[in-house]
Structure 1
């Protein structure tokens, strides 16, 4: 157990903060993917509807402040830095700051609770690339495990859903369906990770607190060519299906997102809400865990696992994920093999892989 960490690094996706940021941000996110300019400009309109400002950076500032305060009071008393993959503050700039402050080894918390290439491995690749860019003196980086079944992630979802249900009209509340949603990814990416099975497990753990209430995991924010299969059903298609079956109310739960960003405030709060209104469905979008106190404490517990050897916590039967990802973890054949941080042989594989368990919803 490594105990010589001298800082925490909050790692997130990043987002534009003004209209002039939007196109450069989109170009950075899609670099090397051959996305036509007209498609970038189309998606950019989503940001322009909100003044060109994504809420994700503000939420990260709030989360960083909350975590710093908790660590200062209850320990471990470590400074918290923050760097993004795709917009300022960029990872390499933050690593330079850390190096200049004398940080030698940092523990990285990523705002992605699940395993996949884009949700875990790509972050590790970008951390390694940032270390290479900074060069000599760049701090050693280790990534905290995925935490989809950690009590600090699951418990806040339950209180958030309870609050959302209270926002529905009295006459439809008892019959409302829970619609858990997450970012769709290409089927091939899902096939080489535990992305789906981990999401189904989180949904199952949360839904157990609402016995008898129907639920389903669906997907939003699909992109890419139509001929490339992505995970389905789409949230809007699922709302159509529910309305056709006579359902009168839904609570849409962004279970795959730690904080609000464009895939939440546009794809759910605008597009899915408009679909529900057209169908006559009462609609409430539950909050993301964001800066929920129980979630911040859960992150502190994840930090303590690595800093002082505290017992790893996990709900359900799958147990805690490994601390250090295997060399081939979430790697899709055909991808470029890029260096990552914290690679090692696995200590054990969590029970239930996508080929072993798909999960079903009780609707």
Structure 2
């Protein structure tokens, strides 16, 4: 049995908190990876439409505080620091704070249920860079097992989907197609990970929980070179060609309602649905749903207590 952890690092994507941070934030995200200039400006516009900032940091901090409260209810006190890969507070600063407080073994909880190079390995690499910068004072990092199929994650997602179905009238509810979405990634990246496999398993388990036999998986928020193959079908194409006039869209690949959900689904995909004559309801992400918070707290508890 490995030694118990004495602190927790919650690692997230990060987001700009005001308008003048949007472009520096996007430059951080790209870090030398090519993006067509037209697409870059489109993304800037998405932030402008939503008030020039992202709610990601605030929502992740809210999740972390809810985890602290859940742990306190179990009489577990453990330092929890939140660090972002692409914006302040950066992972390096968060890890330094834990090290300065005496942490020697840290649970690294990356806020991504489905693992790929972009959603998992880049975070690990950033954490390792932070450890290198700390030198001999760097704590050891331990990571949890995959949780894309954790019963509480599935239950929290299913609860959000039930709420979305309930917002449809009875007739539309009976006809609504269940469509799960996740961030598209390059096909080459997907082939070297379990990303699609894990997404498919999550979607299947949620559909089973809901008693829905037929469902589909779509992708959104593509941002790379048009020359590269990315995961398909795109959510817009699915909605445009839907064999029904109603759909419940579930952003299962996202853990909070940040810009790629609020714009790419609530603005862009919603307009496509309207143009296609489809009544679309978008399920909330798990966010601070009590069962999702309990899932994180239970994973933390297993790593920090005897």
Normalised to the residue count of structure 2, the TM-score between the two structures is: 0.96
Counterpart position of 1:147: 147
- Structure 1: gaps (5+ residues): 310-363
- Structure 2: gaps (5+ residues): none
* Cα distance in structure 2, aligned partners of 1:123 and 1:172: 41
* Cα distance in structure 2, aligned partners of 1:228 and 1:294: 38
Which structure has more helix as a fraction of its residues? 2
Counterpart position of 1:359: none
Q: Does 1:248 align with 2:275?
A: no
After TM superposition, the structure 1 = structure 2 runs for residues 1-363 of structure 1, keeping only pairs within 5 Å, are 1-35=1-35, 37=37, 39-242=39-242, 245=243, 247-308=244-305
* Cα distance in structure 2, aligned partners of 1:291 and 1:186: 30
Q: CA RMSD in A?
A: 1.5
Normalised to the residue count of structure 1, the TM-score between the two structures is: 0.81
SS of structure 1 residue aligned to 2:136? coil
Shift of residue 42, structure 1, vs aligned partner: 2.8
SS of structure 2 residue aligned to 1:208? helix
Q: Are residues 34 and 205 of structure 1, via their aligned partners in 2, closer, same or farther at CA, if it must alter by over 3 Å?
A: closer
Does the 8 Å CA contact 2:207/2:215 hold for their aligned counterparts?
yes
* Cα distance in structure 2, aligned partners of 1:46 and 1:75: 43
* Cα distance in structure 2, aligned partners of 1:212 and 1:49: 35
Shift of residue 138, structure 1, vs aligned partner: 2.2
Q: Are residues 227 and 36 of structure 1, via their aligned partners in 2, closer, same or farther at CA, if it must alter by over 3 Å?
A: closer
* Cα distance in structure 2, aligned partners of 1:210 and 1:105: 39
* Cα distance in structure 2, aligned partners of 1:170 and 1:304: 42
SS of structure 1 residue aligned to 2:76? coil
Give CA deviations for 1:335-356 in whole Å, capped at 9, x if unaligned: xxxxxxxxxxxxxxxxxxxxxx
* Cα distance in structure 2, aligned partners of 1:282 and 1:75: 46
Does the 8 Å CA contact 1:152/1:299 hold for their aligned counterparts?
no
Q: Are residues 209 and 99 of structure 1, via their aligned partners in 2, closer, same or farther at CA, if it must alter by over 3 Å?
A: closer
| Number of residue-to-residue matches in the alignment | 306
Give CA deviations for 1:315-362 in whole Å, capped at 9, x if unaligned: xxxxxxxxxxxxxxxxxxxxxxxxxxxxxxxxxxxxxxxxxxxxxxxx
Does the 8 Å CA contact 1:175/1:213 hold for their aligned counterparts?
no
